[in-house]
Amino acid sequence: MGALQTAEIAQALEEGTPIVALESALITHGFAPPANLDIARRMEAAIRAEGALPATIAILDGKARIGLKDRDLKRLAADRSARKVSLRDLPILLAQGANGGATVAATMALAHRAGIRVFCTGGIGGVHRGHPEDVSADLIALASTPIVTVCAGAKAILDLPRTLEYLETHGVPVIGYGTDEFPAFYSRRSGLGVDTRVETPQEVARIAQARTALGLPAALMVCVPVPEADQLPAQEAEIAIAQAVAEAEEKGIGGKAVTPFLLARMVELTGGRARQANEALLLNNARTAARIAWALQEAAGA
Ligand code: PSU
Ligand code: MN
């Protein structure tokens, strides 16, 4: 039960054209229609505009798919019963034949197996606020999957200090791309540090090469702050996050439902500005990831 690749992706893997893997939980659980299809297409277009190939990764009819044709993207975006697929769900969905959006963890696993070296998402999962026992499988995947992961930090609805502690313990380098601070997803600043700051895709490629040469198992986490014009000021974001987290607590929402609930409430509580920030950072990350994929390619050829 291997993963199915589109002909375009199979050829790019063979020829060494830079590829950027994209998750699909944001299509099935992050954004509602029609915004979900729109943002998925725009991310793919942003990667193509940089001369790289997007490989959106999802489960369709119980098959792991590496790269989606537009009609498949449409089908996934329209399927409101598609499941949220993290690592533990993968074998279940493959056996049962359902559709699913792959989380960061599941996408990283499938992308790495396919030989893709760069992965782009909005914000990774992490340790939940008030629930240090609720640790996203995304963190375990980051610790054990050597792929360059481009993100805007961890989702700010999480406990960011505990999330960073976990990454440190498990040997995941946290790189600030044009920043000294760990970005807070909706906002550029968190007051927390990163392990190093870089300014160029080439610097990321050099760190990735050194990691590979050492045979280390962890991802590189490249953290790109949301564009200034689209950010939600940190204090404003904090007020909405505190309220959303309190509501989740009151309603007893937990497990895999808590992240989608919090993100959707953030959009409502901010009058749509959380969505604007989320979209802007996704497109910015897609462009940056494509440039890093090119730099990795060039470094490998040098
Ligand atoms: N973006 C969203 N909604 C989501 C996710 C992303 O707007 O549900 C997914 C991501 O794919 C991430 C996952 O990997 O949520 C983390 O979920 P959890 O905290 O349950 O591990
Ligand atoms: Mn969880």
Convert the pLDDT of each residue in 24-59 to its tens digit: 999 999 999 999 999 999 999 999 999 999 999 999
Q: Is the CB of 259 under 6 A from ligand 1?
A: yes
Taking CA atoms, 273 is separated from 20, 85, 224, in Å, by 27, 27, 19
DSSP state of 187: B
To the question of pTM greater than 0.85 for the whole model, the response is yes
Nearest-atom number in ligand 1 for the CA of 263 is 7
Query: Mean pLDDT across the stretch 119-144?
Result: 97
237 pLDDT above the threshold of 80:
yes
For residue 206, give every residue at least 6 positions away whose Cβ sits within 8 Å of its Cβ, in sequence order, or none: 299
138 CB near ligand 1 (under 6 Å): yes
**For ligand 1, mutation pick of 39, 43, 103 (most atoms within 8 Å of CB):** 103
Q: Closest Cα partner for 273 from 217, 243, 229?
A: 229
Q: How many CA atoms lie within 13 A of 12 on its CB side?
A: 25
Residue 158 has pLDDT above 60, yes or no: yes
